[in-house]
Amino acid sequence: MSCLLQIKQTGEHLKFSTSNKSLTGTLYLTATHLLFIDSSQRETWILHHHIAAVEKLPLTTSGCPLVIQCKNFRIVHFVVPRERDCHDIYNSLLQLSRTAKYEELYAFSYNPKQNESEQVKGWQLIDLAEEYKRMGVPNSNWQLSDANRDYKICETYPKELYVPRTASKPIIVGSSKFRSKGRFPVLSYYHKNKEAAICRCSQPLSGFSARCLEDEHMLQAISKANPSNRYMYVMDTRPKLNAMANRAAGKGYENEDNYSNIRFQFVGIENIHVMRSSLQKLLEVSGTKGLSVNDFLSGLENSGWLRHIKAVLDAAVFLVKAIAVESASVLVHCSDGWDRTSQVCSLGALLLDSYYRTIRGFMVLIEKDWISFGHKFSDRCCQLDGDPKEISPVFTQFLESVWNLTEQFPQAFEYNEAFLLQIHEHVHSCQFGNFLGNCQKEREELKLKEKTYSLWPFLLDEQKRYQNPLYNPDFSPELTLLEPNTVSFNFKFWRNMYHQFDRSMHPRQSVFNLIMNMSEQNKQLEQDIRELEAVSITKEVFCNNAASFHTNDTTVWPSTYSV
Amino acid sequence: MLAVPGIDLLFSSVPQSAEFRLVPVWLLTLANSSGTITLRCKDLKVLQLEIPGMEECLNIASSIEALSSVDSVMMMYPFFYRPQSLKLEEGWHLFPLQQYFQQIASQVSLEGRDPAMLRSSQPLTGPNRKRCREDEMLLGTVLEEGERGFIIDTRSAQAAKQARMTGGGTEPKSSYPQWRRLHRGRPLQESFIKLVDACNDTAINMDRWLNRLESCRWLSHVKAALSTACLAAQCMDREEANVLVHGAEGTDTTLLVTALAQGLLEREWIKAGHPFHLRCARSAYSHARLKQEAPLFLLFLDCVWQLSRQFPFSLEFGERLLLTLFDDAYASAYGTFLCNNEKERCLCKVKENTHSLWAWLNQPGERKKYLNPLYLPNALVIWPSVEPQSIQLWQGLFFRWIRSSQYLDEAWAEIQRLVEGNEPPVKDSAGNRLSQSLSDPTAQPENGR
């Protein structure tokens, strides 16, 4: 049954180039990784699961070129001297990077050498029940429903769902029958000061004229659950044209006339296919060397990528304004309620609640709005060899939106950019079980909690790397809104994401590294001075910390300045 | 209360706290529309004043118009500005040229021949390919037997060729055999105006914004300037060759390149005769497209800012200094940037009758504000990346008045606090490690398991 490949020494004297340098070395393929060791014994590891595409280019005088594009946007070029070897490597990589079953993914063989209780504890680190309590539910208006405890009402929803107290089981069942994929309106975030809620669902199966009493009662229940405000917003995060087109297929959007006290609003964000294509165009630009500034900017414009990021943030801003300014509850949906809906709800909550701007809070947010509510990680990130049309950078866009916020509000977040990048890395690495599969039901069937490890304790162990040294917990007191400026010029190209491995482009001197080391040294110093008296021991501490600072730094050859 | 006492426009509001805020404003153009005066300033600030009473408004507008178009240099503000803390004559001799050349001379004689950078204007070859023995000899003495030199012509190859028609030209290879010529290619003022225009449009959608950013070409100019300077520096550093830089006049792009490559402000820009009066006449809001106007100095400052982004530890000064220099090049209380060259400054008796900006900046209280707390002295050459992805729009300048920088400022203050609160020995050891790692050409291991 084992499809583990033996460590194969497949190519000697390969040339490997990334950024400007070209190195000679040997390529190895293991069961999980590609490993290149160059002539100076330096190792480059690439996870097979990270490989998005492999391409063989036409033969040149120096050999057969092979280009590997990774899901973390890393691009590596190999030049294999013999064409037959190149062909072998190409085929092996194709095979290794495609997986037919979940059990073949890295998470099932990854072994961090922990005992069972540690593994279990790792999974218990993030407890969503605790989170709902922290938000303030259940309360007099909202309760926990067990209607979906066997996933009978909605397969892609979590077992634990919060609904208005006045939403009885028949209402829930009826509403779920009227919603695409059974994803009826449920609570995503409760704002205890405003007593307003962010709810989420999918599009109604309204067609041109269909109605559903239970669904109408459901929305009424939601608006009644908010004592501060009689009306609520329904945000359809699709472009109006798309939503209207859906009506022909028996789906569509809410008719304001049928639902009492709703204000309907389109906040157009494009669909997964547009986003996939947009990213592709962006990567074409970022993958081209020696671009002129104009080609870069026009390529960026052409891809529309930043336009989409702005659209997502604009939608989130609309959402938070409704809650923070009007104290109105908001129901968010798109088509199936697991892509754009996840983006808008989670970003909205992040703007509203400073807890999600802490390291732990961010993990909770992802667990809640993305993992538990059934964002299709497996399909979107191509974990198995599935339908390429399902692939889309929805979660990447979410991270990029958060990154833009950290740039605007440098002191508001406990975590830094490296944290976002690392999460992105592991969403695609399949090293941990959190993001495997498409929904909670599937994860239970795969027994992920017994057979794989959770990412969160792994990140928490290393959290020093992810801390923002400028973080000020008092920046915005609890439940104070973050109001980003979303004028177009505020959005920047996320070089550290799309050129993460292209060292020549990045500032060679890292302010964050310096500051993190300094503030850590300060803390360490204070501690040492308190504990110890000997001056010589203090000196030792200085040097050790300075040395670790050195290894974090990146050093590169200068760019070539062409005539 | 609105007073127009002279060159400066002082206005104040009387809020509840009865605090007077004096805002010196440099005036450029204004548009009247029933009681509202819009002042577009050279430092890119835009102010709107509501004046009750149409006649009052028109009077004020015409006074402002007249005062802001003063032509005579000696009627300009620096000739009247007398801050209490400074004495006239201070600060003018902070960078004596003789001292500088003496330094270089001693270095050269002690350490052997270091590569030198020279600047000039174009050779007057003309359409008949004139030669000049003296010029050839001069350039010849710079090079030793068998040494190579590079001539970096800041004009594009085409422009240089065309220059021959009007009496200028390039150095023919036969007459200057040891020198290899490299060309660089460009209308900067239009670029500047277009960029500022785009930045001011806050309703702009993303595609249009990117389109305008691209079509204004400002960032292309930044990249070109940085590349040329780096090329020059590379010639000197890697090939150990001497470099001669010239454009047409030797006063614009030439200075930009030599200054960037060497990082010298006063000597390169001011003493070498960048015509500030002409180049920095009206800034981005002017309707009058003055032929001689070109924001080269701003381009230089932008490039320096790019360097500070890529190498935050390597510059002794911070962004604030760059912004101050930008402001003062266009309109200043100080005489440093007045006129077009040393000769004119002598004629107008600038040194005797105005204060030097450097004198102001050098005061201990002021100096501190402009220093970079992250500065770690480092003698190594810094090589910036000139990829488009590494070149950023200088938000601190172009969005200065358009959006609040409060959070960024607070974050920066926090950085300063963290760094300054640190023990000096720690900073030094970190700095030494950093210097070592910068000189180490080997790349770090990638993506460990």
pLDDT band at A423 (very low <50, low <70, confident <90, very high): very high
Tokens of B282: 């009206």
Tell me how far apart the terminal alpha carbons of chain B are, to the nearest angstrom. Answer: 69
| A17 is an annotated ligand-binding site residue | no
DSSP strands (E only) in B45-110:
46-50
Buried b (16+ CB within 10 A) or exposed e, A80-91: beeeebbebbbe
Question: Residue B309: which residues within 8 A CB-CB, separation 6 or more?
Answer: A507, B392
Question: What is the reported pTM?
Answer: 0.81
H helices of A178-292, where?
213-224, 240-247, 272-286
Whether residue B110 is predicted with pLDDT greater than 50 in this model: the reply is no
How far apart (Å, rounded) are the C-alpha atoms in residues B325 and B297?
Answer: 9
pLDDT tens string A535-562: 554 455 544 443 333 322 333 334 445 4
pLDDT of residue A156: 97
- Indicate the range of A287-296, A465-474, B53-62, B240-249 predicted with least confidence: B240-249
> Could you tell me the CA-to-CA distances from A13 to A7, A9, A26, A39, A65 in Å, in that order?
17, 11, 6, 9, 13
Confidence of residue A448 (pLDDT cuts 50, 70, 90): very high
Cα diameter, chain A = 82
Tell me the average pLDDT across A188-210. 96
Is A309:A491 a contact under the CB 8 Å cutoff?
A: yes
Strand order of the β-sheet with A51-56 is A43-47, A33-38, A21-29, A8-18, A75-80, A64-70, A51-56
Q: What is residue A338's predicted lDDT score, i.e. its pLDDT? A: 97
Residue B269 near residue B300 (C-beta atoms within 8 A): yes
What backbone phi and psi angles, to 5 degrees, belong to A47? -70, 135
Q: pLDDT tens for residues A214-248?
A: 999 999 999 999 999 889 999 999 999 999 999 99
For residue B33, how many other CB atoms are within 10 A of its CB? 8
Q: B10 in contact with A at a CB cutoff of 8 Å?
A: no
DSSP-assigned letter for residue A60:
B
**Which one of A40, A45, A507 has the shortest CB-CB distance to B309?**
A507
Contact residues, chain B, for A563 at CB < 8 Å: 182-183, 231
B289 exposure class (CB count in 10 Å sphere: 0-12, 13-18, 19+): exposed
Nearest CA in chain A to B308: A507
Window B:226-265, CB contacts with A under 8 Å = 227, 230-231, 234
- d(C-alpha B78, C-alpha B335), whole Å: 5
pLDDT recorded at residue A438: 97
Contacts of B114 (CB under 8 A, 6+ apart): B107, B108
Q: Do A508 and B210 touch (CB under 8 A)?
A: no
Handedness of CA A519, A524, A529, A531 (dihedral sign): positive
Helix then strand then coil, in percent of chain A rounded to 5, is 45, 15, 40
Which of 92-121 (B) contact A at CB < 8 A?
A: none
**pLDDT above 90 covers what percent of chain B?**
6
User: Measured between alpha carbons, how far is B149 from B142 in angstroms, rounded to an integer?
Assistant: 9
Of B385, B414, B422, the CB nearest to A505: B385
Nearest-by-CA chain A residue for B207: A301
Of the residues B204, B395, B407, B409, the best mutation for testing chain A's interface (the one with the most A CB atoms within 10 Å of its CB) is B407
> Quick check: A233 and A344 in contact, CB under 8 A?
no
Q: Mean pLDDT throughout A455-471?
A: 94
CB half-sphere exposure, B359, CA atoms < 13 A: 20
- C-alpha B108: how far from chain center: 29
Please judge whether B442 and A555 are an interchain contact, meaning their C-beta atoms are less than 8 angstroms apart: yes
Looking at CA atoms only, how far is residue B333 from chain A in angstroms? 33
Q: Which residue from B208, B311, B446 is facing A509, i.e. has the nearest CB?
A: B311
Ramachandran region, residue A151 (left: φ > 0; alpha: ψ -120 to 50; beta: rest): left
Evaluate whether B222 touches B309 at the Cβ level (below 8 Å): no
Is A340 annotated in a binding site? The answer is yes
A422 membership: H or E segment, kind and range: helix A417-429
Tokens of A246: 């859906």
In the sheet with B46-50, reading across from the earlier edge strand, the strands are B29-33, B36-40, B46-50
Strand bridging mode B242-246 / B149-153: parallel
List the one residue out of A378, A180, A387 whose CA is nearest residue A273. A387
The residue of chain B with its CA nearest to that of A551 is B444
In the chain, the amino acid numbered A121 is K
Write out pLDDT tens, residues A115-164: 888 899 999 999 999 999 999 999 999 999 999 999 999 999 999 999 99
For residue A523, the chain B residue with the least C-alpha distance is: B422
Instruction: Report yes or no: B206 at the A interface, CB cutoff 8 Å.
Output: yes
Of A531, A527, A501, A396, the C-alpha closest to A18 is A501
Q: Is the pLDDT of residue A383 over 80?
A: yes
Which residues lie closer than 8 Å to A494 by C-beta, 6 or more apart?
A400, A403
B250 vs A78: which has the higher pLDDT: A78
Nearest residue to B44 (alpha-carbon basis) of B22, B33, B21, B28: B28
Task: Please give the structure tokens belonging to residue A456.
Answer: 């969160």
Q: Is B375 on the interface with A (CB under 8 A)?
A: no
Minimal-distance CA residue of chain A relative to B430: A546
Collect all residues of chain A within an 8 Å Cβ-Cβ radius of residue B415. Answer: 470, 511, 515
Q: State the smallest CA–CA distance between residue A74 and chain B in angstroms.
A: 11
Q: Point out the least confidently predicted range of A495-509, B97-111, B308-322.
A: B97-111
Residue A336, annotated as binding a ligand: yes
Strands annotated E in A19-72: 21-29, 33-38, 43-47, 51-56, 64-70
In terms of residues, how long is chain A? 563
A51: distance to nearest CA of chain B, Å? 14
Question: Tokens 């005062």 appear where?
Answer: B67
Task: State how far Cα B342 lies from the chain centre.
Answer: 18
Residue A180 identity (one-letter amino acid): S
d(CA B305, CA B388) in angstroms, rounded, equals: 15
Say which amino acid occupies A512.
F
Are A559 and B383 within 8 A, CB to CB? yes
Q: In which band, very low, low, confident or very high, does the pLDDT at B366 lie, cut at 50, 70 and 90?
A: confident
- Whether B185 shows a pLDDT value over 50: the answer reads no
> Are the C-beta atoms of residues B13 and B32 closer than 8 Å to each other?
no
CB spacing of B202 vs A487 below 8 angstroms: yes
| Percent helix / strand / coil, chain B, rounded to 5 | 45, 10, 45
**Structure tokens belonging to residue A204:** 């109604």
Asked if the interface predicted TM-score (ipTM) of this complex is over 0.90, the answer is no
A543 in active site: no
Provide the total of helices (H) and of strands (E) in chain B, helices listed first: 18, 9
Shortest CB distance from A515 goes to which of B214, B418, B445? B418
Q: How far apart are CA B158 and CA A123, in angstroms?
A: 68
**Residue B157 binned pLDDT confidence (cut-offs 50, 70, 90):** low
Nearest-Å Rg of the Cα atoms of chain B is 24
Residue B182 pLDDT exceeds 80: no
Cβ–Cβ below 8 Å for B418 and A553: no
Helix (H, G, I), strand (E, B) or coil at A553: coil
Which of helix, strand or coil describes residue A220?
helix
Predicted pLDDT of residue B33: 46
What is the average pLDDT score of chain A? 88
Each as own residue / partner, the long-range contacts of residues A445-452 (CB below 8 Å, 24 or more positions apart, any chain) are: A446/A102, A446/A103, A448/A107, A449/A120, A449/A123, A451/A107, A451/A108, A452/A107, A452/A108, A452/A110
- Give the pair of three-digit tokens for residue B233: 């520096």
Mean pLDDT of A84-106: 89
Contact A516, A523 (CB under 8 A): no
CA distance B57 to B31: 11
Query: How high is the pLDDT of residue B175?
Result: 66
Q: What is the mean pLDDT of residues B26-31?
A: 42
Query: Residue B71: phi, psi to the nearest 5?
Result: -95, -40
- Report whether A374 belongs to an annotated binding site: no
Q: What is the pLDDT of residue A182?
A: 97
Q: A271 among the known binding-site residues?
A: yes
Contact by Cβ (8 Å): A388, A280 = no
In sequence order, what are the beta bridge partners of B183? B153
A335 marked among binding-site residues: yes
Residues 175-204 of B with CB under 8 A from A: 182-183, 199, 202-204
Alpha-carbon distance B87 to B262, whole Å? 31
What's chain A's Rg over C-alpha atoms? 25
Q: Which segment of A149-163, A363-377, A412-426, B298-312 scores lowest on mean pLDDT? A: B298-312
Q: Is A348 annotated as a binding residue?
A: no
Chain A within 8 Å of B156 (Cβ-Cβ)? no
